[in-house]
């Protein structure tokens, strides 16, 4: 069975959100299916999208895992986006948390050196 994943982040300002997520995610394929959504393809069949839903903005929580967390952190920092928190788990996994302009929690996890 093939499964596609579309994870939604509710935002109050679409243009501001697109700019912020572009800086966080870097050079990934993206598209705008309509006037109130913007989608980034993180991997085949795996998408993160923002939707203009002001009444729900700031309450989204999404975590993605990357194969090289240190590389992701360095690249995001070079684009001006820095995490607000970092957690280290006993199994060697690290999770960093970012907050978008609405306060949504965007986690990125993976192995870190």
- pLDDT tens digit string along 21-65? 999 999 999 999 999 999 999 999 999 999 999 999 999 999 999
Give the chain's end-to-end CA distance (angstroms, integer): 35
Summarize the confidence of residues 83-99 as an average pLDDT.
95
Summarize the confidence of residues 92-113 as an average pLDDT.
94
Model-level pTM? 0.92
Task: Give the residue extent of every domain in the chain.
Answer: 5-111
pLDDT of 45: 94
pLDDT of 112: 76
The CATH T-level fold of domain 5-111 is 2,3-Dihydroxybiphenyl 1,2-Dioxygenase; domain 1 (3.10.180)
What residues have CB less than 8 Å from 98, skipping those under 6 apart? Answer: 24, 76, 81, 82, 83, 84, 105, 106, 107, 108
pLDDT at residue 100 tops 80:
yes
């Amino acid at each position: 069975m093939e499964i596609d994943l579309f994870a939604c982040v509710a935002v109050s300002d679409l243009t501001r959100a697109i700019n912020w997520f572009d800086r966080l995610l870097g050079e990934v394929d993206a598209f705008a299916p309509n006037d109130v959504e913007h989608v980034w393809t993180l991997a085949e069949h795996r998408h993160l999208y923002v939707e203009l839903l002001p009444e729900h903005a700031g309450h989204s929580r999404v975590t993605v895992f990357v194969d090289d967390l240190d590389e992701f952190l360095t690249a995001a920092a070079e684009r001006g986006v820095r995490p607000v928190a970092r957690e280290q788990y006993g199994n060697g996994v690290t999770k960093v948390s970012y907050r978008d302009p609405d306060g949504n929690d965007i986690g990125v996890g993976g192995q870190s050196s």
